[in-house]
Structure 1
Amino acid sequence: MATFDVLLPVKNCIRFLRESIDSICAQSCSDWRLFVLDHGSTDGSLEQAQAYARHDKRILVLQVPSAASFSNLLNYGLEHCDSKYVIRQDADDVSRPRRMDMLASAFEAFEDTVLIGSQARIIDQHGSAIGSTNLPVGMAALKASVFFKIPVLHPSAAMRLSALRRLRARYGEDFIKALPAQSRLTVPSLAEDYFLFGQLALVGQCRNLDAQLLEYRWHGANVSATKSLEQLHYALAISRNLARTFSAMHGLPAFDPAPFCNHGDMLFNFPSDRDFRSGFLSMKNILTKALPNSLELQRDLSFRKVVSDRRSLAMTANYLHHASQHGGNRSEWRTVKSWLLRNVRNREFLTVTGQLDAI
């Protein structure tokens, strides 16, 4: 049994695959297995992965061209794992050399932790740095934000396999089952990571490390770019599902997180309403009853209050007050700025219709 099993799905990613696999082979920790999950590549990616496998017995190529969805593909990979920890990586991303060693140390330091992600440097198709992630660090910050945005970068994630087995946690499936069967969600792709990680955060300890352990490639062909609105639809459904599940688990009234979400650093558009302050107060009351009090929770609720009033002058004043109290945050500022400049930049916001309580 290896310390790490790596799940690396690939479909026609020949341009970046070699660098991605090389970054696993170059890890300072050598106790790993790499599962390349080929989803029907036709560009030579499969053959390239097979060539690696012939020279390194730790690399196994699993051909799964008939997997019905990305969730099915990843669950097929999970079924083959028998390590202590499972790492995700995409075929166009690059692990930094000490990624596994640092994750192993973190899992040993936080023995009850189920999921650990990290920050990442964002690179373009040529490998040049174009930005960095700004994800919530630590367990309290991640748990506070989980209803409102994807809290973990998927290819940065590592999970404790024994905990996944105990929880019967799988991609795309409602494994908590706190809701009636007819209300349970299934997520085949596009946001399967958010559904899995969100549920793990509701029932266990999850955290991000404040270290860049991954080079996350952004090249315009990412799903987040090519299917952004469809992905936002799934993210909205998951946010609402997590909120309902959380309320059911704690015997509390349901709340709708949609007006306070900032998936992709953007707000959802409600054409008939700009004032969600009463909904915020109800949500705040529920969350403060069920979540441990922490500075991270107070900070996150402070920002949700900022976006509860969509009038431009009020949002600007509330954000400046929030930033003066809690400090600046790139993601929060991008969220506010995208809304304030929506007419100037002609941004396409996902429009939500219907009653807020119809969730």
Structure 2
Amino acid sequence: MKAQKASKQPLVSVILPVYNTSRFLAQAISSILNQTYHNWELIIIDDCSTDNSTKIAQNFAKQNPRIKLIKQKKHLGVGAVANKAMKLAKGAYIARMDADDISLPSRLAKQVSFLEKHQNLIGVGGQCQLIDSSNTVIGHKNFPTDPEEIKEMMFHYYPVQQPTFMVRASKLPKHFEWYDEQLPSAEEHELLFKFLQYGKVANLPNVTLQYRMHENNVSKQHPKRDFFNIFSIRLKAVKKYGYRPSFTGMLKNLAQLIIIALLPERLIFPLHNFALKFRAH
């Protein structure tokens, strides 16, 4: 019965880059296995992990033919390996997933249903619960749902959480360039600007993902570098992708640039977290 139901559903390709996340990987994979939506393929690409991640992924792949495992012989970085996986995706919809997060059971079903009803959208994200290393909920990240508000905010805030996002493959050109492999970080920011060239983006009002905050988060390691990288991406979006920021957006972007330049690096991430909590309320 499940097989018949799944065959009538659009295929969703879930892309899961992995690098040394053995502590959380089984939970991430299991969260896709536990989806109420059944017609999916999970493409796991292991970026030459040095821990037990590869073995964990192999065990899951052996038990479920919908899981495809690609093993890198050389460490390339998340953008490069995600690009490789994207080329293998066969789905009408492509969803991203990080190896330390947990997708809620109804995530794929709700996103597919929403995109099927809103054909003008290129993609949709969702709201997030923040969890710690032991899966305790420690907060929330709330994002705007209106496509116009999301577009306006792009120049001073990232209004979509990447691992919640699902994109409609048919709206992208055949040789679409996904992640810029030369970027040291924040490649997902540029990708969203690219998507906006082909359609609008929305967020579901529902929580779709548990986003894990822990000591090894990439965003915690070089916050000043990452913020300056984001600023350069915003300027690139104006020059290359035709993005037109509002006057308010430009002022907020400038204010951020000044604050980040003056702040000691050790204060940037705590201040960023405080701003997120303040915005959530």
Higher strand share: 2
- Alignment map for 1:1-359 (pairs within 5 Å): 3-66=11-74, 68-166=76-174, 168-172=176-180, 187-245=182-240, 259-261=251-253, 267-269=256-258, 331=276, 333=278
8 Å CA contact 1:72–1:188 kept in 2: the answer is: no
CA distance in 2, matches of 1:133, 1:170: 25
Q: Give 1:167 deviation, angstroms.
A: 7.1
C-alpha contact 1:16 1:91 (8 A) present in aligned 2: yes
CA root-mean-square deviation: 2.9
Q: Provide Cα deviations, 1:282-311, integer angstroms capped at 9, x if missing partner.
A: xxxxxxxxxxxxxxxxxxxxxxxxxxxxxx
Deviation for aligned residue 1:112:
2.0
Q: Report the Cα distance in structure 1 between the residues aligned to 2:93 and 2:200, rounded to whole angstroms.
A: 15
Gaps of 5+ in 2: 1-6, 263-274
8 Å CA contact 1:88, 1:154 repeated in 2:
yes
Contact 1:6–1:33 at 8 Å: present in 2 too? Answer: yes
TM-score, with structure 1 as normaliser = 0.66
Letter paired with 2:233? I
Aligned-pair distance for 1:82? 1.1
Which amino acid in structure 1 is aligned with residue 253 of structure 2?
C
Contact 1:94 1:216 in 2 (8 A): yes
SS in 2 for 1:268: helix
Q: Which TM-score applies when normalising by structure 2?
A: 0.83
CA distance in 2, matches of 1:114, 1:82: 17
Counterparts of 1:145 and 1:229 in 2: how far apart (Å)?
Answer: 20
Q: Determine the C-alpha separation between the residues in 2 that align with 1:150 and 1:117.
A: 12
2:268 — aligned with what?
A: none
Greater shift, 8-17 or 148-157, is seen at: 148-157
Helix, strand or coil at the partner of 2:95? strand
Q: Deviations over 1:42-91 (max 9, x none)?
A: 21110110011111000111112435332211110110001111111101
Shift of residue 238, structure 1, vs aligned partner:
0.8
Structure 2 CA distance for aligned equivalents of residues 119 and 22 of structure 1: 20
Q: CA deviation at 1:157?
A: 0.7
- SS of the equivalent of 2:204 reads strand
Q: Which has the higher contact order (CA 8 A, sep 6+)?
A: 2
User: What is the one-letter code of the residue matched to 1:260?
Assistant: K
CA shift for structure 1 position 223? 0.8
Q: Does structure 2 conserve the Cα–Cα contact (< 8 Å) formed by 1:239 and 1:258?
A: no
Cα distance in 1, alignment partners of residues 53 and 70 from structure 2: 12
2:271: which partner in 1? Answer: none
Task: Quote the offset at 1:259 in angstroms.
Answer: 4.5
